[in-house]
Amino acid sequence: EPEVTQTPSHQVTQMGQEVILRCVPISNHLYFYWYRQILGQKVEFLVSFYNNEISEKSEIFDDQFSVERPDGSNFTLKIRSTKLEDSAMYFCASSALGFYEQYFGPGTRLTVT
């Protein structure tokens, strides 16, 4: 069964460093998303991406964050200068055009020290 994959599974970085989280969505899906979950808290929407552009973003998704689809398969989330409060699990998700279900990847746990 096709699935969303994410790399790395765990990333440790120092405050102020840039990180890039990578995702490979399900191959025939056209909508891509990033969510984050701070430990013990609810899952929060960051951004959605369709047709090579951001279609929606939350207030969390400030100028620190950017997304890109550099090729036909990868979808990335970049955090330019990480802060301690960026420590969280970051989930990539994708959905097919016309369908509602969003399928999540296994997540990348980001730890900022």
**Interacting residues with other proteins (CB under 8 A):** 31, 33, 35, 41-45, 48, 55-56, 58, 89, 91, 93, 95, 100-107, 109
Nearer to other proteins, 31 or 75 (CB): 31
- In the complex, the smallest distance separating the C-beta of residue 55 from other proteins, rounded to whole angstroms, is 5
As beta bridge partners, residue 55 has none
Of 60, 48, 1, nearest to 23 by C-alpha is 48
- In the complex, the smallest distance separating the C-beta of residue 44 from other proteins, rounded to whole angstroms, is 7
Structure tokens at 78: 């970049």
Nearer to other proteins, 86 or 91 (CB): 91
Q: Which strands sit side by side in the sheet containing 75-79, from one edge to the other?
A: 5-7, 19-24, 75-79, 65-68
Nearer to other proteins, 82 or 102 (CB): 102
- In the complex, the smallest distance separating the C-beta of residue 94 from other proteins, rounded to whole angstroms, is 11
- In the complex, the smallest distance separating the C-beta of residue 66 from other proteins, rounded to whole angstroms, is 18
